[in-house]
Amino acid sequence: MKDEKKFQKRISYLGDLVKPLGIICADYRLGDYQHHEIVLVGYEDFNVILHTAKGKFFVKFFSDFRSDEDCKRYVTIIRKTIEAGVREPGLFESNQGHIHRFTIDGAGLRLIVMEFIQGKTFYELGRSLTESEACETVRQASIINTVNHQPKFIYDSWAIPSFLKEYHLVETMMSQNDLTLVRPLVKEFEQVHLDTLPHALVHGDIIKTNVMLSHKADIYILDFAVANYYPRIQELAVILCNMLFNEKKPETFKGFYDVALDEYQKIHLLTEEELALLPLFIKVQHAMHVVGAIREEKIRKNLPSTEDDYWLKLGRLGLEYMLHF
């Protein structure tokens, strides 16, 4: 219950969720409300699995910090990527359109309702990917990177381009061991000219909490909240440092690295500069997991969580492994 309240504080409504969920059921014609579950992973919005007489639905309440423009941006990206052939949950419409708004007990709510995919994320499964699953994940990512759309930029404190800024925020709070792993990357990354690299629409967060394996063994990509127009190798770096990095068997990474490059280049042929920089991008993304987890605890004063601990350990292990890659 304590964790649920922590997540619900992302929206201004702090009362019993049965009331707003009942309104959503009526406005979207989803059938009578039965019960719900709060999704207790993620750092941004407030997500709920809604059970009704007609089935299950995924409800995303946009966090209060998001502007109306941010919400529209999110929906536009989903629509464009679905049209391109990315496998992801579909959107439902109410009489207001895809984004639904209403006020309850003085609190304004903005939300979308999405298709519920029967399955589990790879974070929930707690296992590494097979080679075929890895290929399909990279294939989906490469489709995203073909979409001709440049959304308005939003800042993502976990993203590779944010490394220098976020590192300097927590540098004095880091242990000597963490500094030994992360500090050498600062000078290297300062020499990278991000603007000159090939750019694309990048999901930017294709990690185990955002990739689902359905009961039919299909791969689904979730949550485009931090998608941006970025250097396209950022997409590969994020996938490689989590989806394709087995912390229990790090020696398998090189094989997955080669598989990912082969699959991605069936659609996007990488330049020599991109191929040379990809290992650095992977290291920086591992570093961002360390930096981000420390920031959540030390600056944002969030209580340490299982998810924070997961990223911190993964980042440290990944950085240690990449010393010899």
297 and 204 in a common domain: yes
Strand partners, 35: 51
276 and 151 in a common domain: yes
293 and 162 in a common domain: yes
Mean pLDDT in residue range 108-137 = 96
Helix, strand, coil percentages for the chain (3-state, nearest 5): 50, 15, 35
Structure tokens at 70: 């941010």
Mean pLDDT in residue range 22-29 = 96
Query: If you average pLDDT over every residue of the chain, what do you get?
Result: 95
154 and 132 in a common domain: yes
Residue 287 has pLDDT above 90, yes or no: yes
Question: What pLDDT score was predicted for residue 300?
Answer: 75
Q: How far apart are CA 31 and CA 119, in angstroms?
A: 22
The CA distances from residue 98 to 85, 143, 201, 301, in Å, are: 19, 23, 22, 34
Domain final residue, candidates 65, 94, 116: 116
DSSP H or E segment with residue 20: helix 18-28
pLDDT band at 13 (very low <50, low <70, confident <90, very high): confident
22 and 169 in a common domain: no
The amino acid that residue 33 corresponds to is: Y
Mean pLDDT in residue range 100-117 = 96
287 and 262 in a common domain: yes
Domain final residue, candidates 116, 134, 163: 116
State the pTM of this model: 0.91
Of the candidate ranges 222-226, 231-235, 298-302, the one whose mean pLDDT is the lowest: 298-302
280 and 198 in a common domain: yes
Question: What pLDDT score was predicted for residue 325?
Answer: 87
DSSP class of 94: B
Domain final residue, candidates 116, 133, 150: 116
Residue 238's CATH number: 3.90.1200.10
98 and 40 in a common domain: yes
Separation of CA 113 from chain center: 18
Question: What pLDDT score was predicted for residue 302?
Answer: 64
Of the candidate ranges 47-61, 257-271, 286-300, the one whose mean pLDDT is the lowest: 286-300
Structure tokens at 97: 């359109």
175 and 111 in a common domain: no
179 and 214 in a common domain: yes
Q: How far apart are CA 142 and CA 121, in angstroms?
A: 20
The candidate with the shortest Cα–Cα distance to 226, out of 209, 212, 240, is: 209
Number of domains forming the structure of the chain: 2
15 and 146 in a common domain: no
Q: How far apart are CA 189 and CA 293, in angstroms?
A: 20
Residue 3 has pLDDT above 80, yes or no: no
Query: Angle 253-264/131-144 helices, nearest 10 degrees?
Result: 40
Q: How far apart are CA 131 and CA 123, in angstroms?
A: 17
Query: Angle 253-264/233-241 helices, nearest 10 degrees?
Result: 150
Q: How far apart are CA 138 and CA 60, in angstroms?
A: 25
Structure tokens at 140: 């989906």
Residue 19's CATH number: 3.30.200.20
pLDDT band at 1 (very low <50, low <70, confident <90, very high): low
pLDDT digits (tens, 9 = 90+) for 210-221: 999 999 999 999
Q: What end-to-end distance do the CA atoms of the chain give, in Å?
A: 43
For residue 106, give its domain range: 2-116
DSSP, collapsed to helix, strand or coil, labels residue 72 as: helix
Number of Cα atoms under 13 Å in the Cβ half of residue 92? 19
The candidate with the shortest Cα–Cα distance to 94, out of 80, 109, 105, is: 109
85 and 138 in a common domain: no
Q: How far apart are CA 51 and CA 25, in angstroms?
A: 10
Mean pLDDT in residue range 44-59 = 94
